[in-house]
Amino acid sequence: MMTQVLLFHHVQGLTPGVHAIADALRQAGHTVHTPDFFEGRTFGSLDEGFAALKAKGPDAQDAWADEVAGALPADIVYAGISLGVMPAQRLAQTRPGARGAVFLESCAPVSAFGQAWPADVPVQVHGMEADPFFAGEGDVDNARELVAEANDGELFVYPGDAHLFTDSSLPSSDPAATASVLSRMLAFLERA
């Protein structure tokens, strides 16, 4: 069964590497929506991206994500990469009808969104074991809590210390790990 996916990009923007992930899912027959919070701008570093995010205001990303999701059917899979996990997780957890969620390189505490993880929403989380953000800031612990709470939850941890390893257009890219991520995402989407 083909699935609609709403993929939120990371803080460096809708890069060629984010497009590559979307294209890999599309080649398998899925419909992938890739909205662009930064309206065509991409950034050479995390710091530049966070500065642009801050300039948009504290609630701008949530309002934008709600508008994007509101234009799509409820029964979709929410996916996000790093910063993009925040709207993906919030919507999957709080907007009724989600078919599933895939979080790359980040995971918020379940408690961050004011309600339990929906029992009928499968979830998959991917990250690197020594990523200073995913491992060093507690996201991997959040992911363990989430997959334990979900009826259908999977956590995949890859060797390495890169952040944004799934983005083939960045120096942090890890092609072998990304190939594993995509294979597991495709298997997840087949059953979502």
Q: Check residue 192 and give its pLDDT.
A: 87
How far apart are the C-alpha atoms of 81 and 89, rounded to whole Å? 11
* 18 three-class SS: helix
pTM of the shown model:
0.96
Beta carbons within 8 Å of 177's beta carbon, 6+ residues apart: 128, 158, 159, 160, 165, 166
Q: Check residue 26 and give its pLDDT.
A: 97
> What domains are there in the chain, each with its CATH number?
4-191 (3.40.50.1820)
Residues of the chain with pLDDT under 50: none
Beta carbons within 8 Å of 33's beta carbon, 6+ residues apart: 4, 5, 6, 7, 68, 72
The helix (H) or strand (E) run that includes residue 122 is none
